Amino acid sequence: MSDLIAEQVSRVKARIRRLRPEGGVKIMAVTKNRSYEESLAAIRAGVDLVGENRVQEARDKWREKPPVPLHLIGHLQTNKVKYATELFDGIDSVDSERVAEALNARLEAPRPVMLQLNGGREASKTGVHPDLAIRFLAEASRWPHLVFNGIMAVLPLAVDSSAAEEKRIRQFMQEIGEVWRMCREEQFPWAPLAELSMGMSGDYEWAVEAGSTMVRLGTVLFGSRSGI
């Protein structure tokens, strides 16, 4: 099992290197629904960080902190904020003012977070509308404990492997890339926006081509999810 995971990590790294020879793309292993052993195998194989979707699952799995940064990438319920701030090095899923407010109130010192954008404006997903990203960040100085170090894009999954679908998804990625660059140009001291977290197993190569600096990979590293 760990050999397979190591092989997949190497394969993904090679593909990313081909697309971005100068480097600068981090690999996050998304370890939701994966065992502790599988998760550790990915870390040993050289991923840069680990992402979890649910606070409770992450608490159960990571009683001992992993040797790479641990980030939250799923929606944060406000009753879990205390545990989240104790456990995670970064919270990439700040998807609303409500979440920002709750995190800021609980934290005592600045913590890196990311603004989550709903790149496809899907009703089923949380996240700030891309058109409102600049305004959201401009007003973020009122949360002095949040340092917005990136944008995390959630995007529609391609429904099939047609060229039209590829074009549709790539357009969303292009748009998010532009929003990220525009927001960076504002140079808000509280929003350095070093990272653009974009791209999952099915579309990470397109995301790297669109400027992503962090891809979030589950299936392509670990295989299809069993059970759920």
Residues binding ligand PLP (CB under 6 A): 30, 32, 53, 73-74, 200-202, 216-220
What is the DSSP track for 58-93?
HHHH-SS--SS-EEE-S---GGGHHHHHHH-SEEEE
What pairs with residue 111 in β-bridges? Answer: 146
Strand 146-154 and strand 111-118: pairing? parallel
**Nearest distance from residue 204's CB to ligand PLP, in Å?**
8
Residue 69 or 190 with smaller CB distance to ligand PLP? 69
- Among 194, 168, 37, CA closest to 115: 194
Nearer to ligand PLP, 150 or 218 (CB): 218
By beta carbon distance, the residue nearest ligand PLP is 218
- Listed residue (53, 158, 50, 32) closest to 95, CA to CA: 53
For ligand PLP, give the closer residue by CB, 60 or 139: 60
Q: What is the nearest approach in angstroms of ligand PLP to the Cβ of residue 138?
A: 25
User: How near is the Cβ of 195 to ligand PLP at its closest, in Å?
Assistant: 14
Which amino acid would we find at residue 200? Answer: M
Of 224, 208, 210, 228, residue with least CA distance to 12: 208
Shortest Cβ 108–ligand PLP spacing (Å): 27
Nearer Cβ to ligand PLP (58/200): 200
For residues 89 and 145, which CB has a smaller minimum distance to ligand PLP in the complex?
89
Q: How far is the CB of 16 from ligand PLP (least distance, A)?
A: 14
